[in-house]
């Protein structure tokens, strides 16, 4: 059974700092997505990671995928307040898509 | 105009009532999905449809049914609502060109409260 675990579930950090969100999953998968959700809003696609070693970057966010370790990371560089949101990873197997519980990121000015 | 729309945006109903949530899209995507989001639980897939004639159960389909009336319309029904179906419901779409469960585009959500 595919299980997806994100950590931390809540993160409060200062502007300008770096941090990493982790997404671990339990079975073989070669596709992983990262989404962002602002409070009271819908989900927005951030990254699509398709293969082992994939790395994608957009602004201050960088996502990577290690399929052998069954781990994806979302790294935030020099955080700014605008990045405050909840971040979800979603892992796909042949017939399932399972979302993590989300990491609520609060960036303090 | 939004590519994926949901109606209603908010709904309060009573236990035992039948309720329908509707989703329309102008993205031209064949694949549509219904999810529910509960605080602290992420999103869970209820049903998905790859075309008008193809409907599939997701992780938590019990207590729900769906109808794909057209390529652009996918509705979710609660035949007899119960309080633990109180949640935020999202519709999503994806293109068919690549894989099952490709990158998805979400509607604004429907907040449903069952009293």
SS3 at position B84: helix
Residues of B in contact with A101 (CB under 8 A): 40-42
pLDDT band at B1 (very low <50, low <70, confident <90, very high): low
Neighbours of B86 (CB within 10 A): 16
Q: Tell me whether residues B107 and A42 touch, CB distance under 8 A.
A: yes
Q: Tell me whether residues B100 and A92 touch, CB distance under 8 A.
A: yes
CA distance B111 to chain A (A): 10
Cα–Cα nearest to B46, from B63, B38, B58? B58
DSSP class per residue in A36-92? EE-TTS-EEEEEEE-STT-EEEETTEEEEEETTTTEEEEEE-S--GGG-EEEEEEEE
Neighbours of A75 (CB within 10 A): 15
* Lowest-confidence region among A27-31, B16-20, B31-35, B106-110: A27-31
Would the pLDDT of A97 be above 70? yes
**Mean pLDDT of all residues in B62-86:** 96
What pLDDT is recorded for position A108? 92
CA distance B82 to chain A (A): 23
DSSP structure class, residue B101? T
Q: How far apart are CA B58 and CA B17, in angstroms?
A: 23
Is the distance from CB of A105 to CB of A11 less than 8 angstroms?
Answer: yes
Q: What is the pLDDT of residues B15-62, one digit of tens each?
A: 999 999 999 999 999 999 999 999 888 899 999 999 899 999 999 999
CA distance A75 to chain B (A): 20
What Rg do the C-alpha atoms of chain B give, in angstroms?
13
Q: What is the pLDDT of residues A74-92, one digit of tens each?
A: 999 999 999 999 999 999 9
Across all residues in chain A, what is the average pLDDT?
Answer: 93
SS3 at position B6: strand
Residues of B in contact with A99 (CB under 8 A): 42-44
**Mean pLDDT of all residues in B3-8:** 96
Picking from B42, B103, B106, the nearest residue to A42 by CB comes out as B106
What pLDDT is recorded for position B79? 93
Q: How many CB pairs under 8 A join A and B?
A: 45
CA distance A102 to chain B (A): 6
Q: Tell me whether residues A33 and B103 touch, CB distance under 8 A.
A: yes
Q: Tell me whether residues A42 and B42 touch, CB distance under 8 A.
A: no
Picking from A42, A99, A100, the nearest residue to B109 by CB comes out as A42
pLDDT band at A38 (very low <50, low <70, confident <90, very high): very high
């Amino acid at each position: 059974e595919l299980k997806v675990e994100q950590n931390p579930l809540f993160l409060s950090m200062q502007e300008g700092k770096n941090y990493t969100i982790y997404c671990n999953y339990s079975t073989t998968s070669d596709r992983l997505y990262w989404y962002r959700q602002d409070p009271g809003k819908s989900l927005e696609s951030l990254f699509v990671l398709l293969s082992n070693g994939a790395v994608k970057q957009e602004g201050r966010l960088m996502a990577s995928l290690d399929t052998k370790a069954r781990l994806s990371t979302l790294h935030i560089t020099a955080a700014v307040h605008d990045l405050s949101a909840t971040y979800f990873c979603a892992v796909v197997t042949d017939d399932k898509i399972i979302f993590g519980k989300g990491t609520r990121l609060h960036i303090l000015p | 105009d939004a590519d994926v729309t949901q109606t209603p945006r908010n709904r309060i109903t009573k236990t035992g009532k039948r309720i329908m949530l509707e989703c329309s899209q102008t993205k031209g995507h064949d694949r549509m999905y219904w999810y529910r989001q509960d605080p602290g639980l992420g999103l869970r897939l209820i049903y998905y449809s790859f075309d008008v004639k193809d409907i599939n159960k997701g992780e938590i389909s019990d207590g729900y049914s769906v109808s794909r009336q057209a390529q652009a319309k996918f509705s979710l029904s609660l035949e007899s609502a119960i309080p633990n179906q109180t949640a935020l419901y999202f519709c999503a779409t994806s293109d068919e060109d690549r894989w099952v469960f490709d990158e998805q585009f979400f509607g604004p959500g429907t907040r449903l409260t069952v009293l």
